[in-house]
Structure 1
Amino acid sequence: MNSIRQRLLLWQIAALVITCTLVCALTYHLAWQAFNRVRDFGMEQIAHSVVRHGVRPHSWTSDIPQHVEPLPTARPAPQQPAAPWAADDLGVFISQIWSLSGERLYASVESGGPPLQEPGFHEVEWSGETWRVFTLRDDEELVQVAKTESDRVSSFAEMAPWLLVPAALVVLVLSLLIHAAVTRALAPLNAMGRDIRQRGAKDLQPIDVDGMPDELLPLGQSLNQLLARVDELLVHQRQMLADAAHELNTPLAAVKLQAQLARRAPAERRGASFDELDRGIARSTHLVAQLLEMARLDADARPHEPAAVRCDRLAAEVVAAFSAQAESRGIDLGLDTREAATVWADPLDLRVLLDNLVDNALRYTPSGGRVDLRVEHHAGRVDLVVNDNGPGIVPADRQRALERFVRLNPADDAAGSGLGLAIVTRIAQRNKGLLTLVNSPLGGLGVRVAFDAHPVVA
């Protein structure tokens, strides 16, 4: 059962039925006790009535035959067939009068009733039945009134079903009210569902949360946050596609032109033309790779899986990976400082970050220059620093250099795609790092990325 509405109805109506059952059981118990008290009170009144009106008090002596002068209302019962008690007397009170010495003087049925009991109420087994007996004592006689328990039960059974009628009506009425209340309470949720279903693929406007119930407000706010993120992602993707189309147009056109020139070039110049074509293809490949990396970061296509990363070891791997490229360009690439340091970040993200920083530094550093990679461990902080002695970036342009597709010197063929620092910025944000551009002690640009330190792992 996946319906919230059905679950609410089931639990509430089940709780109602259980409660009404318990109330009915308690009501039945209390009504049965009250019914018995009323019947007992009636037996007491009959006993007192017999004492006051049934016979004359002075008419009973031990030597007088068993003969009484009853009042007209207290005449003995008519003759019945011999039996412990007559069938016609079922449900009728049996009254008996006894002398103080224990001699029965009167019985409302010829065969008599239950034996004499002590004053008060008693439960007596007699003639195969359970009898409720009340005995009253006065100065001259004992009056005993008896009635079968089965008669009481049958009398109460006739009345008991009417006790259940109010409970059944309560269950019916409350079930209808609960059904209406649940339907009305879930109306805002249904309205929200209709609003979302009716929206088009491009309609990412926030849901109206004004007047929304408190229980739905967190859901509405979360949906609005999700819609905002999706809208931002789509905006980034559209911008990325537009920028990618613009940025790829030039290098692809250049590659096409270089291929045509290589085809037409004389044999002695064809090698140089192919070398230029290779460089154009390399630039286009680098641009496509960075575009894909930025797209993956924007879309969170790869799950973020942070772990303890030894930055000193990672830096050594990056220097080794770029050593051949640095040597081909005549650049001195080295690991200046290598302190044991660990941060809590995604290992693949950190590798991409250092790759882009070192690649940028090598691209902008002239032949014969120098690029240093440093790992500094301060109190509670680890800094990854890349310094070069290239042209650097003036402070006024440093913030703009972190944006996508910004190339401060587009005429420079060695310039990259304008995505390297943007990728580094995105990775730093994703791993809770802080990126700053500073003046390099080597005279060019220094890029510093700071992370919170983590206990050093082996």
Structure 2
Amino acid sequence: MSLRNRLLLILSGTFIALWSLAAVWLLGDLRREVTVALDERLASSARMVAGLLEQLPQPLPTHRSSPLSAIELGLQSGLVCQVRSLRGEVLVRTPNTPQATLAEHGIGFHEVSIGDERWRSFTLKRQNLWVTTADRIDERETLQSAILIAAALPVALALLGSLVLIWFGIGRGLSPLQSLRSVLAQRDAEDLQPVYVRRLPKDLQPLVATLNQLFVRIAAALQRERRFTNDAAHELRTPLTAVKTHLQVAQMSSGAVAEHALLQAETAVDRMQSGLEQLLLLARVESAQDFDKDGKVSAQTLARHALADLIAVPGYQRIEVVNELTEEVYVAVPESLAVASLRNLLDNALRYSPPESCVELYMAVDQQRLLLRVRDAGNGLSAADIEQAKQRFWRISNVHSGSGLGLAIVQAVTERYGGELRLQAAPTGGLDVLLYFPLSQS
């Protein structure tokens, strides 16, 4: 069921129920008032006839050549009157008055059945006379029905008009949704620009704002997907070409030349594997998936696991740890990402520093953040190189090892979890890389 039909059904049902209850109450009250008015007419007519008879000479004749008309007695049309003596003799009666006695039930209002007709009567005793006025019940019911129909017709017309107005009102109220639907239907599948609808009601503005946020997230996801595809093609092109070349050399050679070619092919495969792992990790970090936002790890565990991952790296023994932590602290970063970030920094320091130099890992707490400083004794970076070092696939021009994604991954982790990555020249030469992770509050 459409939203318009649902609203129409709810509002129309509510209106019909309320109007029906009001109409039943009003018409029922009107019916009672009409009955009271008709009875009052009988009573006032009887009192009027009694008053007229009191002015006539007494005693009244017991026989008349013809009955008195209602006009002569001053009665309204549709009423009949019968005047009897206390002995039961009919002294005066109007035409169409039943021959039977109407006052045999005593004083007051009564319903009398005479033949096939039912009468509503009122009897009044005045001096030595019984004055009875009556009207037929079927005529009363006909009059009541006419009054009720006349009163109910405006109610029915008002209800019908209300339903028509509700129909047009709902259509008018839902027109912004129709406009929004038209705007979305006309958009190209590749168009992820924010949606704009003129004269948008305040109730729909949060919906459009949420929709635009969704478009932003979709655009970002598509951008990450395109960038991952381009990065993968960029990262795999050179290793695949090298592997293919070395394998061709191995096929055409033998002995030491073939073994060297196979070794070079294996090195290219390892580089390709490392680059793909780094690229996938970067894609996962930027996509905000697969990691626990509430994850945490202690600083000692972080350093221990990062160092363990570098055991097989040449020059691992050159790493010296300076730990100024006085107590065990935890960082609000998932363990896998924190370890990968520190491992990348240490790996870069070992890779780009002299073989005999020392690589220092300094650990301390600085302003409610864990500081991990990696200092090497290499050639350092210029100010221009420092600005570019965090970009994807950036490498020092005269060095071709590594994937160029290490610092980009660390930067993505710090942006996601509220950390910070700084590069600056070391006081003794080389490069200082400062990694800040926020401390866990729990």
What corresponds to 2:4 in structure 1? 5
Query: Which residue does the alignment assign to 1:445?
Result: 432
1:88 alignment partner in structure 2: none
Q: Give 3-state SS (helix, strand or coil) of 2:49's partner.
A: helix
1:225-267 CA-to-partner distances (Å, cap 9, x unmatched) read 3223333433443344334433433333333334445556663
Mean Cα deviation higher: 178-187 or 334-343: 334-343
Query: What code does the residue aligned with 1:207 have?
Result: V
1:307 has 2:294 as partner: yes
1:195 counterpart residue number: 183
TM-score by length of 2: 0.78
The alpha-carbon distance between structure 1 residues 158 and 209, as it changes in their structure 2 partners (threshold 3 A), is closer
Question: Superposition pairs for residues 335-414 of structure 1, below 5 Å?
Answer: 336-337=323-324, 339-373=327-361, 376-377=364-365, 381-391=368-378, 392-407=380-395, 409-414=396-401
Residues in 2 aligned to 1:264 and 1:410: alpha-carbon distance in whole angstroms: 33
**How far does residue 105 in structure 1 lie from its aligned partner after superposition?**
7.4
2:204 partner amino acid:
L
Structure 2 contact 362–372 (Cα < 8 Å) conserved = yes
- Cα 1:146–1:74, aligned 2, differ >3 Å: closer, same or farther? closer
Contact 1:94–1:147 (CA under 8 A) maintained in structure 2? yes
Closer, same or farther in 2 for the Cα pair 1:6/1:71, shift >3 Å? Answer: closer
Evaluate the alpha carbon distance shift between residue 168 and residue 72 of structure 1 in structure 2; reply closer, same or farther with a 3 A threshold: closer
- Tell me if the contact between 2:83 and 2:130 (Cα under 8 Å) persists in the aligned partners: yes
Per the alignment, in what secondary structure is the counterpart of residue 383 of structure 1?
Answer: strand
Amino acid at match of 1:167: V
SS for the counterpart of 2:5 is: helix
Task: Quote the Cα distance in structure 2 between the aligned partners of 1:451 and 1:294.
Answer: 20
- Tell me how far apart the structure 2 counterparts of residues 252 and 226 of structure 1 sit (CA, whole Å): 38
Structure 1 residues 264 and 20 mapped into 2: Cα distance closer, same or farther (>3 Å)?
Answer: same
Aligned in 2, Cα 1:329/1:374: closer, same or farther, shift over 3 Å? Answer: closer
Out of 246, 249, 252, which is 2:237 matched to? 249
After TM superposition, give the deviation of residue 297 of structure 1 in Å. 3.4
Residue 73 of structure 1 aligns with which residue?
69
Shift of 1:386: 4.0
* Match for residue 228 of structure 1 among 209, 216, 239: 216
Deviation at 1:177, TM superposition (A): 3.0
Give the secondary structure class of the aligned counterpart of 1:59. Answer: coil
Q: Residue 387 of structure 2: SS of its match in structure 1?
A: helix
Deviations 1:368-419 (A, max 9, x none): 444455554456x332514131434445533322222222x132134x2222
In the TM superposition, residue 445 of structure 1 has moved relative to its aligned partner by 2.0
Is residue 412 of structure 2 the alignment partner of residue 422 of structure 1?
A: no
Conserved 8 A contact 2:421-2:433:
no
Query: SS at the partner of 2:219?
Result: helix
In structure 2, the gaps of 5 or more residues are: none
Q: Work out the CA distance in 1 between the residues paired with 2:246 and 2:283.
A: 29
State how far apart, in whole Å, the 1-side matches of 2:299 and 2:336 are: 15
Q: CA deviation at 1:27?
A: 2.4
DSSP-derived class of the 2:418 partner: coil
Compared with structure 1, are the counterparts of its residues 438 and 25 closer, same or farther at alpha carbon in structure 2 (3 Å cutoff)?
farther
**CA contact 1:319–1:333 (8 Å) conserved in 2:** no
Distance 1:418 1:25 in 2: 84
CA gap of 1:395–1:174, structure 2 versus 1, over 3 A, is same
Q: Give the C-alpha shift of residue 28 in structure 1.
A: 0.7
- Aligned pair in 2 of structure 1 residues 246, 148: CA closer, same or farther (>3 Å)? same
SS in 2 for 1:230: helix
> How many aligned residue pairs are there?
428
CA contact (8 A) 1:393 1:445 kept: no
**What is the TM-score of this pair, normalised by structure 1?**
0.76
Of residues 172, 176, 199 in structure 2, which corresponds to 1:184?
172
In the alignment, the residues of structure 1 paired with residue 253 and residue 320 of structure 2 have an alpha-carbon distance, to the nearest angstrom, of 37
Taking the TM superposition and a 5 Å limit, the aligned residue runs for 1:271-286 are 271-286=259-274
- Identify the residue that residue 51 of structure 1 maps to in structure 2: 50
**Greater displacement, 282-291 / 257-266:** 257-266
Alignment-derived partner of residue 84 in structure 1: none
Q: Is the 8 A contact 1:402 1:425 kept in 2?
A: yes
> Cα–Cα, structure 1 residues 350 and 103, in superposed 2: closer, same or farther, change >3 Å?
farther
Q: Per-residue CA shift, 1:140-161, capped at 9, x if unaligned?
A: 8775545576764454235434
Paired with 1:350 and 1:98, the residues of 2 have a C-alpha distance of 117
Which of residues 152, 157, 160 is equivalent to 1:164? 152
Does residue 210 in structure 1 map to residue 198 in structure 2?
yes
Shift of the alpha carbon at 1:11?
A: 0.8
Q: Deviation at 1:137? A: 7.5
State the distance in 1 between where 2:294 and 2:264 align.
Answer: 43
Given that residues 107 and 123 in structure 2 are in contact (C-alpha distance below 8 angstroms), is that contact kept between their aligned partners in structure 1? yes
Q: 1:74 to 1:6 in 2, by over 3 A?
A: closer
**Cα distance, 1:46 vs structure 2:** 0.9
> CA offsets per residue over residues 298-323 of structure 1, 9 Å max, x none?
444x3453224133354045235324
Q: Does 1:116 align with 2:103?
A: no
Q: Secondary structure at the match of 1:385?
A: strand
CA RMSD of aligned residues (A): 4.1
Relative distance call for 1:76 and 1:183 in structure 2 (3 A) is closer
Matches of 1:383 and 1:269 in 2, distance apart?
Answer: 51
